[in-house]
Amino acid sequence: MTRPRHLSLSAAALALALPVLLSACGGSSEADEKPSFDESAPLHSALPKELQGEKSITIASNVEYPPFEFLDTDNKTVLGIDREIADGLEKQLGIDIVFDNIAFDAIIPGLASGRYQMAMSAMTDNLERQKEVDFVDYFAAGAGIMTHEADAGKYTTLADMCGTSVAVVKGTTEVPQAEEASKQCEADGKEPIKATVFPGQNQVILALQNERVDAILMDSAPGAYAASQTEGLVMSKPYESQPFGIVFAKGTDELQQAVQQALQALKENGDYDKALAKFGLESGAIDEFTINGGTQ
């Protein structure tokens, strides 16, 4: 999930990247400026009893993945598709949703340990992750390749990456994909893929810009958005498709079902589609919000 390149970031990209880079060194929660607690909200009674009396719920997120989540220029306010959807969930559930900005690979351990009950961070729902957490799927996503415009037609599938260097973000599905693709390259008598793992999306983009890597393997939706904000970079069509899900600790079935109902309500009132359209990702909209729909 990220992209490589040598040119400097555009002004628009810097506006997104710099606040995130400043926040990446620690976990910080967004300010709770718009209280949404409302016992009369349509689905407040669907929440677990222990949450119905709470004013807010703190959820885990790696706020470094535009357009799904990123920090505004105040380095505090969370913006993006996930925040827009969370705003809609607040109205349906009558409880504030506060984002806690932590490392991506710390999210599942945080859920498994009970520190968080829920996370929103554009996480791919797959069978391996379902062993530890549950998902309510809310977006149709695909993995793709980001590279320089000059190489746009050169790198379109994982098979094209044999003998190249790629950047991937720690904890993402692209890490094992790169490993498996490299093994296949060698089995086919070709040079392996040299994959370098970075802590976040901004770091992989900088690696590509500085020509440390030939390409980035990342989710195509945020990749397409980042490429549109960064001169000279392009994102391939997805080479693989899997759903993104809101993530839950095991044993939180009642909360999962409440969020699932809330998402369906947002779909019916148009707020869900508006959140995606605001960032040009209408193509990833889904009609049904399946629990643990990932099959790969």
30: pLDDT confidence band, cut at 50, 70 and 90? low
33: pLDDT confidence band, cut at 50, 70 and 90? low
21: pLDDT confidence band, cut at 50, 70 and 90? very low
User: Average per-residue pLDDT in the chain?
Assistant: 87
Q: What is the pLDDT of residues 266-292, one digit of tens each?
A: 999 999 999 998 987 887 899 999 999
- For residue 96, the cross-strand partners are 56
Name the H helices within the chain: 11-23, 49-52, 81-93, 107-112, 127-130, 174-187, 201-209, 220-229, 253-269, 271-277
pLDDT at residue number 145: 95
pTM > 0.75: no
127-131, 184-188, 241-245, range with the lowest pLDDT: 241-245
CB 76 within 8 A of CB 31: yes
Q: Which of 129, 125, 132, 130 is nearest to 242 (CA)?
A: 125
